[in-house]
C-alpha cells in the first residue's frame, strides 16, 4: 500500500526559481513494459509564498483526477500510470487475472 505521503515524495516536486515557485507532477507513461516518468509543471506560485501554502498546494495535486485515481477494489490512491483503467489499479487487475 502506498500512502499519500509516499506519493507526494515520489510524484510531486517543488522547485524554487529566482522569480517563481513551480510545483511539478510526475506523469507515468509506458513504452511497452518500461515506465517513464515525465515531470509536468502544474502550479506556479510567486516567490515569497508561505511554505504552508506551498505544501497545501502540493498536497492538493493528489486530488487531481488527471494524474491520480483511487482504486475501487483496494481503495489505494495511485498515479494514473499505475492504473489499468480509471477504477482499477494494476495490482488488483493482476489479482483478477490480467497479465501485463
Q: Where are the domains of the chain?
A: 4-95
pLDDT for 73: 94
Phi and psi dihedrals of 79, rounded to 5? -65, 150
Interatomic CA distance for residues 7 and 17, integer angstroms = 23
Beta-bridge partner residues of 78: 69
Task: State pTM to two decimals.
Answer: 0.89
CA-wise closest residue to 19 among 56, 44, 54, 37: 44
Q: For the chain, which ranges sit under pLDDT 50?
A: none
Interatomic CA distance for residues 37 and 26, integer angstroms = 6
3 within 8 A of 62, measured Cβ to Cβ: no
pLDDT for 100: 67
pLDDT for 96: 79
pLDDT for 38: 97
Residue for grid cell 483496494? 74
Amino acid at each position: 500500500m502506498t500512502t499519500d505521503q509516499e506519493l507526494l515524495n515520489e510524484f510531486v516536486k517543488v522547485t524554487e526559481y529566482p522569480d517563481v515557485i513551480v510545483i511539478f507532477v510526475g506523469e507515468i507513461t509506458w513504452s511497452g513494459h518500461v515506465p517513464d516518468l515525465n515531470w509536468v509543471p502544474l502550479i506556479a506560485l510567486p516567490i515569497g509564498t508561505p511554505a504552508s501554502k506551498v505544501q497545501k498546494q502540493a498536497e492538493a495535486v493528489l486530488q487531481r483526477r488527471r494524474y491520480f485515481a483511487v482504486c475501487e477494489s483496494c481503495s489505494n490512491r495511485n498515479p494514473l500510470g499505475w492504473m489499468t483503467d480509471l477504477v482499477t489499479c494494476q495490482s488488483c487487475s493482476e489479482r483478477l487475472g490480467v497479465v501485463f
